[in-house]
Structure 1
Amino acid sequence: MKFYPRLLFILGLLFFKIVNGQDHIFYVSPNGNDAYEGSFEKPLQSFNKVVDVISALGKDKNIKVLFRGGTYYLAHTINLSSTVSRTGTATLSFEAYQNEKVVISGATKLTDLDWKPWKNGIYKTNVSETSFMDQLFVDNALQIKARFPNYDEERPIRGGRGYQVARDGPDKRYDGWLGFDADQFSTKNWSQPTTGLLHVFQSHNWGNMQYRIKAIDRAQNRILLGEGGWQLQRKYGIAKGSPFFVENILEELDAAKEWFFDAAGKVLYYYPESPDTLSGASIEVAGLETLIKVGNAGESAVRGIVLRGLRFVQTKSVFMEPYEPLGMGDWSIHRSGAITFENTVRCVVEDCDFEDIGGNGVFFTKYNLKDTVRNSRFSQIGESAVCFVGDSNAVKDYITWNDIELSGRSSEESKRKIDHSAGPKTVDYPQFCVVENCLASDIGLYGKQVAGVLIAMSKAIKVAHCTIYDVPRAAICINDGAWGGHVIEHCDIWNTVRETGEHGPFNSWGRNRFWPYDGKGLTKKQVFLDAEDAVVLRNNRIANSRKSISAGNWAIDLDDGSTNYEIYNNLCLGSTLKLRDGYFRKVYNNIFVSAVPMGWHVWPQNSDDEYKHNIMAIAGTVPGEQQATDFFLKPISMPKNIKWGNEVDSNLYYNANFINPYFSPDVKINTWIESGYDAHSVFTDPLFRDPVNGDYSVKRGSPAEHIGFENFPMDDFGHTMSRIVPFEGSFSKMLKVTLLPDRRGGQMYYTLDGSQPTLSSLRSTDGKLTIRESTVVRMQTFKNGSPIGFECRAAFNKTATVTHPSWFDAIVRNKPVMHVKGKKNEQKMLWQGALLTEINDGDMVDATGGFTEGVFVKDVPKDARAASFGLKSSDIIIAIAQFKTTKLADFENKQKALKGKIKLTVLRGYQKVELYVDL
């Protein structure tokens, strides 16, 4: 008789579970043993082992794996394949035992380190455990790769002392060099520049790039670059003014917390804050990119996996891994996360915490159906928090900016091959998935073209009750119009677009089959080939009071091609709405309070857009401007001699700056109405109920009632876990603070001395708190003696004076004054019958597609000579003959001296066109 030890082990486990009346419950503990049976008394030790055991069990039963408190270091990614999938409604859950703190780490803990003084406060040690180091943690705190300029603790993001700006560059991916200012740049001699990495912002400020350093040329003041630059799309690269820093250079190790790893010699160099720091310190290095992979391509779908109450930490960065350009959005992305789902159904991430993640948090790639992320927190994330990205092979006529701008694929070639059937080609995309009641902040530590939630090539994704703030670009980004049906609701968004420009806290593109990248006109009949179902934005609060880094900065930014949207019951503070070229956008019952006017740019004729029952309150001064805003709308390159959209009416407009504002820069209100718009609208104070305390609903009897506006809740934005309102801030005398418990129930305990709240801390029954001194408030909801959700923390600083955004002060002051409209000092000229002007503000930059230089063709009448040689409205003249025309003055001066047949180079859409004119 043969003896099968593994089979007998598994049968013994099953017998144990049945005899003890437990429905397949396994225990895992750092103090366990993988030779044990997995009981409470004799737990297993490793994640890998419990997965191995479960793979041999039936798939129709509920199985629960309970992890005891402690840190589980993973040597390899945990693969939850079809062998552990469930059937029917059964689930396999991996969760923390009774709220014990369970940490799943992608790091390796270094041991037996023998630190020796090296020089200048730096220590070194030999390392035997690894030959790769990407992120280093000392006592769980992320340390800094040796870099220049040094890291700025006070302002670590762009704009701080941790960046320099490029003197010049090729401005074309993939860049070969960066020019630096020799008077400002490091003078240290780099013995091995090839270990270095360059982090640099793209010239148009749409994101950043990373390159390996090939060499440094001190004679020409250039850093020569190797591989990299794939971390975003579009052709633009490094140019004059691009912020940058370099890292991973040994000679730049000169500040506390910096480190460098000599991979060849396996020597770690570290500059501790003090020598005592190293005594008994826990030293960990991130090694894994993905902690858990659920599902695999080529297998049957994995169903019913639940991850609950776990903390995921310490994965490596991914920016030098292969990236994939996403179809006609500006993104490229690396398809992985700390948790990656592929080919899954009905899986859940719940009550999980993600911190110190080098790449993306949770990534749903290709086919995923009815999966959910809920009640979870994301902070200190290298890239994006949650991503839904379908398979490009599911998209008909798939094309990327890399295909067009780097590989030279022509528009005519694309049009000849277009597939006119609607919908996707396959089911390999996320669909009917949910992100709800989540908190994301401090993401985009490495990548800057990132989002709290990214949706690309997906269907019917719901994002609800999410709080997203402190991010470099969008809070929520929809990359394309395939295939719609998404719902974004009850989210609370602020302090976004901190390091990039020409973007909004909510941003979307829709450059699918109907949208021509050659600028030759949209094809309305093709709109619903991809944008099958409407995208709904409702009941969100979006605050956006930052000065734009470049171009516009709207709260809701519907960029190129965004089509089939329904936008209602949103409160937008500090900025407003942009509608670029697209169709079927219904915007109603929203409140906009801002110094920023709406941006309506390059609509097609008969767009069927609707704008009604909204409150538009203009107040204060756009950050960076001198003049208070005196109009509501800034249209650029809109249709001529035809009505815009389907309906613009029954709105309330109020200007808190001036009694007699204009509607748009050169159009009086009466002229606007006579043109066929807003015949039933009113221009008056909406009578907000309590804007000082964030209530922008209107009082009973408000004139807004007469235009069909209906109040919507002002207290249902963002996550519903423990909250402190306001979330932070300054005050001068005293401040009333509100504590809100987790909606799942429980009691609130808080501290005012910076300590962690426990059941022994102060208890709040009414949630009311008055602060009179600078204070750090920490609060936690406890239910049945255990914490529920996450602790929240808010710092309040008492100051002599408090500065508010100008729009807030103007609304609260509510004393508009008489205004005399002065003449605009717009630079313009008539040439060959065409009206030319400069690209001179954010709206113009946005309307042109991000171009900051060139001569903008504002109007070309049909009978103008310019029309006869092919010049069109909205063209951008970038050269006349062999001369570049970055400004109107360049063009004016050069054209005077030219005679004969002259070539005119223009940008039309996103492609160059050559025209010829006889002068």
Structure 2
Amino acid sequence: MKTFSSYMLLLAALLSSRVTSAQEQVLKNTILVQVGTKNHGNVYTSTNLQQALVQQRAQHPDKNLSVVFTEPGTYYFDTTLVITSTLANGEGHILFSKLHPEDKVTLSGGRPIQVKWSLWKNGIYKATLDLPYTFDQLYINDELQIRARYPNYDSSARHYNGSAADALSPERIKTWRHPEGGYVHALHKGEWGGYHYRIKGVNSDYTLQLEGGYQNNRQMGMHAQHRFVENIFEELDTVREWYYDQPHKTLYYKPAPGTRLSSARVVISRLPTVIALKGTAESPVRNVEITGLRFAHTAPTFMDTREPLLRSDWTIYRGGTVLLDGTENCSIKACEFDHNGGNAVFVSNYNRHAQISGCHIHDAGGSGICFVGNPDAVRSPLFEYNQSQPLASIDTVPGPKTSHYPDSCTAYDNLIYRTGTIEKQTAGVQLSMAMNITVSHNTIYDVPRAGINVSEGTWGGHEIAYNDVFNTVLETGDHGAFNSWGRDRYWHPNRQTMDSLVAAHPWLIRLDAIHTIRLHDNRFRCDHGWDIDLDDGSSNYHIYNNVCLNGGLKLREGFYRTVENNVILNNSFHPHVWFANSHDVFRHNLVTAAYKPIGIKYWGDEIDYNCFPDSAAMPPLTDKHSLAGSPGFVNPLGGDYRVIPSSPALRTGFRNFPMDNFGVVSPQLRRLAKKAPLPVLAQQHLLSSATTNWSGAGIKNIETLGERSAAGLPDNNGVYVVSVPAGFRYRLQAGDVILKAGTTPVHNVAALLEITTRGNSWPVHLTIFRNQQQLVI
């Protein structure tokens, strides 16, 4: 099948009257649908676009349809554009693209509004805005503003950018005249995601009447501390906050200094979905490609997140900025999803060979990319953690019951960060009730929960490889950079019941987890949980060639996990409450601390041939053939954790694997992506001399050829940064080398201390060497 990406240059040539005869032959089977901004006012009527597509398909059933946005700018859709199987019937492709690669074309789920501002009081402006509906997001000059809230927005606060126990105190509630329509957002009591509530009224004791709280599938109530309220008029008290008084048709806003409201572009969120591909297993949408477009301004969906994902901790909203539901061979390529209120891309129900690749997904209220099947494909489904069923009622046929799930789909080369800005039970990439999904070469970071999550064992076969996942579980707890559950049909919340069930009927274990999940050649980091967390019965995994930078690797319960040839830094292996006859294997791994078992009576099939940092870390009951000693990393300061030829790890069967294949591969995405923070404590042990305390930061001289090589320096001049405390006055990172303080060269630690203590005056700038580049900070 010839993809439509190859047609883009031909389309540009055709529209500019520079088409060759060969190009004309290629394009003769293509009908162009040109869309421009100039003739449509502020709101583009997507209804008309849909009608045009219906008309062209009726007239040209065997032609390709190419929707080309011919002018740069923003196209505000008035309704969701729905592509049905009638429009995409397999006899011709549909392409959505922009005309020129350099154009920036935005498809918006928002609505631009024209308002006349007048000063109200306390720096707050107001404007009349007559709308039949309320809205949840306001953009000023394409920047998302903050709905009036308590506590106020704080970019440095870990939870919700500001949370407080007294957000729901009677004393505070007494100050609100009409809080109806406000919202309460709170973490789960166990920090397992979050809850959202709409305020319906106030009781006589000044507690709130709330609607919601169904967004988490493990009902335990809201966290006592981590909560905030928003959309409360009386809390509008700082810059960038806004409030819409719908009964009185008035918008209030407190601009930041320097904002020119008279010329500001104002947009409000409206549609949760911009484009929906809607087919069925029997009549799928085929061969649609969306490429090179930016999607923005879609509405939050946190109050619609209520469908439970079997017995996982999740509930979902089955939708996103772009929805694929009942498709074959459809793709989203090189698109940007920027500040949307819910999920970015949702692949729902029956889908085959869907591909999301080369996309830049950031600042999403929900998840990045979701592959989620339909529960009608699951045999003997249950929908809450504490539910169970007797053996006699379990359907014992292996595998799925229907075809209503994603299979053979791909998420490749996507840059995903700052997802879950509103909802906290989210992931960069989410898999549930799916089979044979490839998640590879993605870079995922700055997320409140997992970077990659697998909700249950149905039905495995996934390949999760070459991803770079870090800065994870930033707002929640008891989770991992990679997380999975395995609460499949055999699983029971009572451990004793489950022990006897699987002992008597071990064939139950792989009725759902029918294909092995391969987790390999990834780099993971979690500072608030585990780097790799296989929880609650996760089964049938092969985990190899991964680098765990901080949180270690955990296997709880479950069966048939083979873990081999992984590097686990600053941590170790966490086996939790294993079954008898689990058939688990842990071998040929390099760990840097003693094992951390919890509730272990049985040790699986093989726990041996691993490398430990010293003899004190060696376990007494396992690892009869394991060795201890310094691993001898090639370049730990540069993130190369291959080992040198004399390393004891190689004598245990460990084999080096590449350390430079993690994350996105597109040059433009690699330029944008953050770098994973490398472990500091492991580096400290490898340095040749003691560090010096520099106002809380650890620094040292550069003394050896190895240290010079790790930093990429031409000589020994400079000061190596070993560690940096939170809130340090310079934006340094461990591994930086300080070359100048102000304009004065810094050759060693003594010179830096003399400069920065002289007259109690610190230089404004430092010149540093980072990632083999000289920077000024």
Same fold (TM over 0.5): yes
The one-character-per-residue Cα deviations of 1:188-215 (angstroms, maximum 9, x if unpaired) are: 6211121210011111000110111234
Other structure's SS at 2:207 match: strand
Instruction: List aligned pairs for 1:526-545, cutoff 5 A.
Output: 526-544=508-526
Task: Write the distance in 2 (CA, Å) between the matches of 1:537 and 1:585.
Answer: 11
Q: Identify the residue that residue 144 of structure 2 maps to in structure 1.
A: 142
Q: Identify the residue that residue 151 of structure 1 maps to in structure 2.
A: 153
How far the C-alpha of 1:31 sits from its partner, in A, is: 4.0
The one-character-per-residue Cα deviations of 1:216-253 (angstroms, maximum 9, x if unpaired) are: 4685xx532321001111120125x3311101111111
Alpha-carbon spacing, 1:339–1:679, altered in 2? closer, same or farther (3 Å): same
Task: Write the distance in 1 (CA, Å) between the matches of 2:730 and 2:552.
Answer: 30
Q: Identify the residue that residue 75 of structure 1 maps to in structure 2.
A: 78
Q: Identify the residue that residue 3 of structure 1 maps to in structure 2.
A: none
Query: Is the Cα–Cα contact under 8 Å of residues 77 and 109 in structure 2 kept in the other structure?
Result: yes
Work out the number of aligned pairs and report it. Answer: 659
Structure 1 range deviating more: 570-579 or 188-197: 188-197
The one-character-per-residue Cα deviations of 1:656-698 (angstroms, maximum 9, x if unpaired) are: xxxx5244xxxxx4xx2xx3x2122101111100001110001
Which of 185, 190, 194 lines up with 1:199 in the alignment?
Answer: 185
Q: Identify the residue that residue 856 of structure 1 maps to in structure 2.
A: none
Instruction: List aligned pairs for 1:656-671, cutoff 5 A.
Output: 660-663=615-618, 669=619
Are residues 1:349 and 2:350 paired? no
Task: Write the distance in 2 (CA, Å) between the matches of 1:600 and 1:803.
Answer: 31
Q: Identify the residue that residue 697 of structure 1 maps to in structure 2.
A: 642
Q: Identify the residue that residue 896 of structure 1 maps to in structure 2.
A: none
Q: Identify the residue that residue 398 of structure 1 maps to in structure 2.
A: 381
Task: Write the distance in 1 (CA, Å) between the matches of 2:588 and 2:172.
Answer: 58
Which of 591, 596, 604 lines up with 2:579 in the alignment?
Answer: 604
How far the C-alpha of 1:157 sits from its partner, in A, is: 4.0
Which of 121, 124, 127 lines up with 2:126 in the alignment?
Answer: 124
Q: Identify the residue that residue 85 of structure 1 maps to in structure 2.
A: 88
Residue 574 of structure 2 aligns with an amino acid whose one-letter code is G
Task: Write the distance in 2 (CA, Å) between the matches of 1:726 and 1:144.
Answer: 26
Other structure's SS at 2:637 match: helix
The one-character-per-residue Cα deviations of 1:323-378 (angstroms, maximum 9, x if unpaired) are: 10111111001100000011100000000000111000000111000110000010
Instruction: List aligned pairs for 1:439-454, cutoff 5 A.
Output: 439-454=415-430
Alpha-carbon spacing, 1:299–1:529, altered in 2? closer, same or farther (3 Å): closer
Instruction: List aligned pairs for 1:628-647, cutoff 5 A.
Output: 632-639=594-601, 643-647=602-606
Query: Is the Cα–Cα contact under 8 Å of residues 182 and 231 in structure 2 kept in the other structure?
Result: yes
Calculate the TM-score normalised by the size of structure 1: 0.68
How far the C-alpha of 1:709 sits from its partner, in A, is: 1.1
Task: Write the distance in 1 (CA, Å) between the matches of 2:46 and 2:233.
Answer: 43
Q: Identify the residue that residue 271 of structure 1 maps to in structure 2.
A: 254
Task: Write the distance in 2 (CA, Å) between the matches of 1:322 and 1:66.
Answer: 34
Task: Write the distance in 1 (CA, Å) between the matches of 2:122 and 2:596.
Answer: 58
Query: Is the Cα–Cα contact under 8 Å of residues 46 and 79 in structure 2 kept in the other structure?
Result: no
Q: Identify the residue that residue 306 of structure 2 maps to in structure 1.
A: 323
Residue 373 of structure 1 aligns with an amino acid whose one-letter code is I
Alpha-carbon spacing, 1:255–1:76, altered in 2? closer, same or farther (3 Å): same
Residue 32 of structure 2 aligns with an amino acid whose one-letter code is F
Calculate the TM-score normalised by the size of structure 2: 0.80
Instruction: List aligned pairs for 1:369-518, cutoff 5 A.
Output: 369-401=352-384, 404=386, 411=388, 413-518=389-494
Query: Is the Cα–Cα contact under 8 Å of residues 695 and 714 in structure 1 kept in the other structure?
Result: yes
Q: RMSD of the alignment, in Å?
A: 3.0
Alpha-carbon spacing, 1:646–1:242, altered in 2? closer, same or farther (3 Å): same
Alpha-carbon spacing, 1:252–1:609, altered in 2? closer, same or farther (3 Å): same
Instruction: List aligned pairs for 1:219-234, cutoff 5 A.
Output: 219=205, 223-234=207-218
Residue 521 of structure 1 aligns with an amino acid whose one-letter code is M
Instruction: List aligned pairs for 1:543-562, cutoff 5 A.
Output: 543-544=525-526, 546=527, 548=528, 553-562=529-538
Q: Name the % identity.
A: 37
How far the C-alpha of 1:703 sits from its partner, in A, is: 1.8
How far the C-alpha of 1:464 sits from its partner, in A, is: 0.4
Task: Write the distance in 2 (CA, Å) between the matches of 1:418 and 1:61.
Answer: 49
How far the C-alpha of 1:769 sits from its partner, in A, is: 11
Residue 477 of structure 2 aligns with an amino acid whose one-letter code is G
Alpha-carbon spacing, 1:369–1:20, altered in 2? closer, same or farther (3 Å): closer
Structure 2: runs of 5 or more not aligned: 1-13, 679-711, 719-727, 737-777
Structure 1 range deviating more: 194-203 or 716-725: 716-725
Residue 635 of structure 1 aligns with an amino acid whose one-letter code is P
Other structure's SS at 2:597 match: strand
Which of 192, 195, 198 lines up with 1:212 in the alignment?
Answer: 198
Alpha-carbon spacing, 1:568–1:284, altered in 2? closer, same or farther (3 Å): same
Other structure's SS at 2:418 match: strand
How far the C-alpha of 1:803 sits from its partner, in A, is: 5.4
Other structure's SS at 2:651 match: helix
Query: Is the Cα–Cα contact under 8 Å of residues 607 and 623 in structure 2 kept in the other structure?
Result: yes
Q: Identify the residue that residue 727 of structure 1 maps to in structure 2.
A: 674
Residue 192 of structure 1 aligns with an amino acid whose one-letter code is H
Structure 1: runs of 5 or more not aligned: 1-12, 35-42, 167-177, 619-631, 664-668, 732-767, 774-796, 806-919
Alpha-carbon spacing, 1:157–1:109, altered in 2? closer, same or farther (3 Å): farther
Q: Identify the residue that residue 164 of structure 2 maps to in structure 1.
A: 164
Other structure's SS at 1:103 match: strand
How far the C-alpha of 1:27 sits from its partner, in A, is: 4.7
Other structure's SS at 1:317 match: coil
How far the C-alpha of 1:528 sits from its partner, in A, is: 1.3
Task: Write the distance in 2 (CA, Å) between the matches of 1:473 and 1:32.
Answer: 43
Other structure's SS at 1:195 match: coil
Task: Write the distance in 1 (CA, Å) between the matches of 2:66 and 2:432.
Answer: 33
Residue 510 of structure 1 aligns with an amino acid whose one-letter code is G
Alpha-carbon spacing, 1:481–1:285, altered in 2? closer, same or farther (3 Å): same
How far the C-alpha of 1:122 sits from its partner, in A, is: 1.3
Query: Is the Cα–Cα contact under 8 Å of residues 473 and 505 in structure 1 kept in the other structure?
Result: yes
Task: Write the distance in 2 (CA, Å) between the matches of 1:58 and 1:480.
Answer: 44
Task: Write the distance in 2 (CA, Å) between the matches of 1:645 and 1:309.
Answer: 49
Alpha-carbon spacing, 1:82–1:321, altered in 2? closer, same or farther (3 Å): same
Q: Identify the residue that residue 34 of structure 2 maps to in structure 1.
A: 28
Alpha-carbon spacing, 1:206–1:282, altered in 2? closer, same or farther (3 Å): same
Query: Is the Cα–Cα contact under 8 Å of residues 314 and 358 in structure 1 kept in the other structure?
Result: yes
Alpha-carbon spacing, 1:707–1:597, altered in 2? closer, same or farther (3 Å): closer
Task: Write the distance in 2 (CA, Å) between the matches of 1:109 and 1:156.
Answer: 31
Alpha-carbon spacing, 1:187–1:274, altered in 2? closer, same or farther (3 Å): farther
Q: Identify the residue that residue 869 of structure 1 maps to in structure 2.
A: none
Instruction: List aligned pairs for 1:572-611, cutoff 5 A.
Output: 572-594=548-570, 596-611=571-586
Are residues 1:300 and 2:283 paired? yes
Which of 484, 498, 517 lines up with 1:521 in the alignment?
Answer: 498
Other structure's SS at 2:655 match: coil
Residue 186 of structure 2 aligns with an amino acid whose one-letter code is V
Task: Write the distance in 1 (CA, Å) between the matches of 2:329 and 2:595.
Answer: 45
Are residues 1:648 and 2:607 paired? yes
Are residues 1:715 and 2:637 paired? no
The one-character-per-residue Cα deviations of 1:741-799 (angstroms, maximum 9, x if unpaired) are: xxxxxxxxxxxxxxxxxxxxxxxxxxx999x99xxxxxxxxxxxxxxxxxxxxxxx994
Q: Identify the residue that residue 687 of structure 1 maps to in structure 2.
A: 632
